[in-house]
Amino acid sequence: MKNNHQNGFTIIELLIAISIITILSTIGYATVSKQMETNAILKMRNQIPTFIKGISELSYETGEKYDISIDFNNYIITAKKNGSTTIYRKLNLEKNLQYCFIDNNNKIQNTLSRNTTSTGNINIGFSIYIFNKKNKAKSKISFVSTTKVVKFLVINRYTPKKDMYLNNFTQNRVITGSELELKDSNNWEKVN
């Protein structure tokens, strides 16, 4: 009598195993991807203010003015001595995030230039908004010029209190309606 029992796996068993591995891999990838995005946001929320504050402190210590240029299209912030073409310091921004600046005319800008004062302040305050890949607002960093009260640059960090999106934003587009809630301070919670 012959024994037809074979060692090995059936096609059904292999398909089930592959399906389980695929599901677990997908869940793992989504978790790792979300954690990487969170880390990138936290990194930028700390590095951008540290960079600009460093230039501000350098101005205060040396009495020299510096030009700060922010270029979100090329994901870079640079600092040059006033009038110089040589980059003194630069910060590369995380490329898997979106950034913008909204000017006083409610226009979305992707580039920004500011100057430090010889007392360590900046000539005009501004806020940088950080978005994830889905254009969901994740952080706001405000740089407050306080030349009339205090000579030092004030930096505040915020997280949104509710979901806010800035869909399909382009350079120099005027924001209206619900998009203005990005600028509304009631929608942001101050963090350290």
52 within 8 A of 116, measured Cβ to Cβ:
no
Q: Say yes or no: domain 11-191 is CATH 3.55.40.10.
A: yes
Tens of pLDDT, residue by residue, the chain (192 residues)? 556 666 777 889 889 999 999 998 888 888 888 899 999 999 999 999 999 999 999 998 998 999 999 999 999 999 999 888 899 999 999 999 999 887 767 778 889 999 998 888 888 888 899 999 888 889 999 888 876 655 678 888 998 888 888 764 554 555 655 566 666 777 888 887
72: number of Cβ within 10 Å: 20
Q: What is the DSSP string of 103-163?
A: -TTSBEESEEEEEB-TTS-BSS-EEEEEE-TT-BEEEEEEEE--TTT-SS-EEEEEEESS-
